Amino acid sequence: MSSVGTRVFVARLAGTSVFDPLGDQVGRVRDVVVLVRLKGAPRAVGLVVEVGSRRRVFVPLTRVTSIDAGQVISTGLVNMRRFEQRAFETLAVGELLDRTVEFVDGSGVASIEDVAIELQRNGDWIISKLFVRRHTGRPGILRRRGETLLISVDEVTGLGQASAAQGAELMLAQYEDLKPADLADVLHDLGLTRRLEVASALDNERLADVLEELPEDDQVGILQGLARTRAADVLEAMQPDDAADLLGELPDDQQAELLELMEPEEARDVRRLLAYEDNTAGGLMTTEPVILGPETPIAAALAHVRRQDLTPALASMVFVARPPLETPTGRFIGVVHLQRLLREPPHESIGSIIDTDIEALPVDAPLLSVTRQLATYNLLALPVVDGEKRLLGVVSVDDVLDHLLPEDWRETDDEDQLGATRG
């Protein structure tokens, strides 16, 4: 049991396993929900816990019996309703880390690097201490790293107000182990301003991966909040079909401007995809599958499907065509399945094991036809060709699911209808 005076630093708490009284793991702590008050120390009221299926739920601290030795013990049933931050709540990791505060004695400003919560006699957890780094240098001059201090929360002001240019490096350090879809959930739960600050701190590749997992409104808000050249760089790092979907949500003038700023080769593929109707094979496809010539050795083909940027669906088969091997290719020949590659001698060419029975999709094939063909032949991806049998791209099962599911599927699910709201 946690005793009065127990002090816990939230940056260290993030990622800690949460267990029920029987010792079964419930999930992992992702954040601490705090109420910043006009008077008195801010009070921590609950934990944001990531449970199965990437769900982030609220666990009141009144149901936490122990926080020690790298674990959290909770009691009672966990409300599985998805956590939604309220206007008067602050996320300690997501919003307080990197926040700038002023010393009440007038000695300058500092950035928060960690926050300590402490158990009181009445059972409340309050923010008692801040671990801060003092800023050095005059305003307007590049800030140097100053000394670190552990101070009482009443020694500074500004804890309840975000600075005009709050960083996000410390917050992201707590989430560096998250997959893009999980980090997208974190960003979605943040306020608009903080979401853009955190997104801006990500490198282009990481931000591109995260954007692909966010709801459309969040995608548009982040992209429009970036500098135009940075936005173009991020679009280049995205899969062409995802970049085309995102650009399709923007006004025509913004769309045209960003396309002009992109590298010509990257913009070419995106422009081509924008020309197709959304719910057709052309509108669903990606232009960057694994495409090889029939003379390619099996060992080389296996090396290609090991690429980290490939989704499991696109890594399930190699598409074989005559040169050129960039879409639109020369004449499409057929596909080679990953399982077949694994069963054959590595020195053999893939031309000897081509499956020519898969029927390629015309570019105007409707969504229903695409879905039916994927289901009928138990495939994860299908080739899309033009009238001259040139490979234009590939429709994968994950692209189809994105279009079949409700538009808000990333934000809600069936279990959102269960459980009572938190008090």
pLDDT tens digit string along 129-163? 999 999 986 544 444 568 999 999 999 999 887 66
Q: Are 218 and 196 in contact (CB under 8 A)?
A: no
Residues of the chain with CATH 1.25.60.10: 170-284
Per the CB < 8 A criterion, the answer to whether 173 and 200 are in contact is no
| Predicted model pTM | 0.77
Confidence (pLDDT) at 403: 84
CATH number of 291-404: 3.10.580.10
Cα-based distances in Å from 224 to 118, 156, 231: 40, 34, 8
Confidence (pLDDT) at 142: 44
**pLDDT reported for residue 408:** 63
What would the CATH number be for the domain defined by 170-284?
1.25.60.10
Question: Which residues belong to CATH 3.10.580.10 in the chain?
Answer: 291-404
- Kind of pairing between the strands at 64-68 and 71-74: antiparallel
pLDDT beneath 70: ranges in the chain: 1, 53, 69, 137-145, 162-165, 407-423
Beta-strand (E) ranges in 76-124? 90-91, 100-103, 109-119
Whether 392 contacts 363, CB under 8 Å: yes
pLDDT tens by residue, 178-203: 889 889 988 988 888 889 999 999 99
